[in-house]
Amino acid sequence: MLRPMGQTQDVSRREFIQASGKAAAASLAAPAVLRGASPTADPVRLGHIGLGTRGGNLVRYTGQIDACRVVAVCDVYKPHLEKGVRLSNNPDVKAYGRYHDLLDDDQVEAVVIASPDHWHEQMLLDAVAAGKDVYCEKGWTVSVEAAKRMRAVVKHANAVMQLGHQGRQLPSADVARQMILEGSIGDVTLVNIGRFFNGTPDRPPWRWYGGYNNYERPDPEKVIRDLDWESWLGSAPSIDFNERHFWHWRCYWPYGTGQAGDLLSHETDFVQTVLRYGIPDTCVTTGHNAFWKDDREVPDTWTSAFVFEKHDCTVTFEGCMNSQRKQTPEFIGRAGRIIFSDIGQDASMFETYADEPAYELARRPQPQPTHFFAPTPEHERPSHMEDFLQCVRTRERPRCNEDEAFVEAATLLMSVQSFQQKRQVRWNPVDEEIIQLPGTSPAAGGA
């Protein structure tokens, strides 16, 4: 619902924060809270590739909904494979150690790819070649050239492809978009987004073991016995078994894109869901390991500024693994602001504020919101996974299809390339490539 403050019951700041927390908890406990669609009469026969941290959560979900039936699971690490079998909710599920064998299984119609990011391209290409539709986790891939190949293959095969940004299922984004189009907050010139986490020495960020917040270290010798290490490495540089690379791969460049692919991509995709501006024109990024002085290669502090020149709009991302503050998506227009209740993937509610002077401590009351939105039954829609499953049957395009995935990949990779080159970069829409701006100086910061 969207209601003006003062015309109906007001919602206090405390109530808004409490409701935001409840909504986030509900999202974690029941990903289909916004579902509302009838189960398909012919459940999609689904195969899962990658059953670790995120992959385990996905098979837990798909194993419980009527729109699909998990018929096959695959992982190169035996305990993860056993977890997938257990969570599939199917006593007849097939278990594979090689994903090619799963793709050869005629019972599998569509696959969920939740492997480390450096595997996404090859697995998607092979899945589409095998006639499967694909749900792929974010970030989509690790290079623009890979993203081009992935997009081309999906289009050529008329495959259904969904990228795993569940913020796309939130009706709040559509309501906010319509308000912006109607001029409710004026021209949007600045959007602030960010992600923050503050671990402890015994619970550092990205150092979990096969599950979010699981910090109990398995016996390395047993891990070696249960893992096909060479298959896990794939196209990454060949090295001897390294348990920290296996468990904590987001900390190392050969397997992913750090905060850009894991966190920034969620937030910028939510901005894309609201504004639909596409790929930014320019980006400048700085990064630094400010606190976690372990062997991680990717920075714990990451800041990016994107500019959409045709729209006169700047988007800033702050990523910090050393702070508890929260930066929810904030859309700032010349006549007001829209502030969401939570991070992009859980931003189910928002408040709007009129354009007012900055809050001055102890001199004036805190500005009060002019509107508040929270979803009601009229806003119910399929979850992000169910949207994909329905499209497998209808052959329609899902919300985060290959074109939207390309926008996501190009955006996050502009951030990575700017950091690596220590200078501002520009998107060339003609050749679809990231280029250096002539005459720009290297950016501050570094590895």
Q: Which sequence spans correspond to the domains of the chain?
A: 2-29+168-202+256-378+403-436
Q: Which amino acid is at 73?
A: V
At 210, phi and psi to the nearest 5? 80, 5
The model's pTM is 0.89
Angle between helices 265-275 and 171-181 (to 10 degrees): 50
pLDDT of residue 40: 55
Token code pair at residue 364:
């004036």
- Rounded Cα gap, residues 365 and 345, in angstroms: 31
Burial class (CB in 10 A: 0-12, 13-18, 19+), 130: middle
**Backbone dihedral region of 36: left (phi > 0), alpha (psi from -120 to 50 degrees) or beta?**
left
pLDDT of residue 13: 41
pLDDT of residue 76: 98
- Per DSSP, the three-state class of 192 is strand
The pairing of beta strand 110-113 with beta strand 44-49: parallel
- Rounded Cα gap, residues 153 and 159, in angstroms: 8
Token code pair at residue 384:
């992000």
Whether 244 and 218 have beta carbons less than 8 Å apart is answered as: no
Burial class (CB in 10 A: 0-12, 13-18, 19+), 200: exposed
Q: Which amino acid is at 125?
A: L
Token code pair at residue 412:
């996050």
pLDDT of residue 27: 36
| Residue tagged 């102890």 (tokens) | 362
pLDDT of residue 351: 96
Fold of domain 2-29+168-202+256-378+403-436? Dihydrodipicolinate Reductase; domain 2 (3.30.360)
pLDDT of residue 443: 56
Half-sphere exposure of 366 (CA within 13 A, CB side): 4
Question: What is the per-residue pLDDT across 274-327, written as a single tens digit (0 to 9) for each?
Answer: 999 999 999 999 999 999 999 999 999 999 999 999 999 999 999 999 998 899
pLDDT of residue 10: 39
Residue ranges of alpha helices (H) inside 130-195 are 144-157, 171-181
Q: How many CB atoms lie within 10 A of CB 305?
A: 18
Q: CA nearest 266: which of 420, 439, 415, 426?
A: 415
Residues written for the chain:
447
List beta partners, residue 313: 308
At 59, phi and psi to the nearest 5? -70, -30
Token code pair at residue 301:
């502090």
Q: Is the peptide bond before 139 cis (omega within 30 degrees of 0)?
A: yes
User: Which residue ranges in the chain fall short of pLDDT 50?
Assistant: 3-39, 444-447
Whether 52 and 77 have beta carbons less than 8 Å apart is answered as: yes
**Residue 174: which residues within 8 A CB-CB, separation 6 or more?**
none
- Rounded Cα gap, residues 317 and 435, in angstroms: 21
- Rounded Cα gap, residues 187 and 310, in angstroms: 12
**Residue 225: which residues within 8 A CB-CB, separation 6 or more?**
none
pLDDT of residue 445: 45
Q: Which amino acid is at 93?
A: V
- Per DSSP, the three-state class of 288 is strand
Sheet architecture: strand order including 94-96: 94-96, 68-74, 44-49, 110-113, 133-136, 161-163
pLDDT of residue 359: 55
Run of H or E residues at 95: strand 94-96
Q: CA nearest 302: which of 415, 207, 424?
A: 415
- Rounded Cα gap, residues 358 and 164, in angstroms: 37
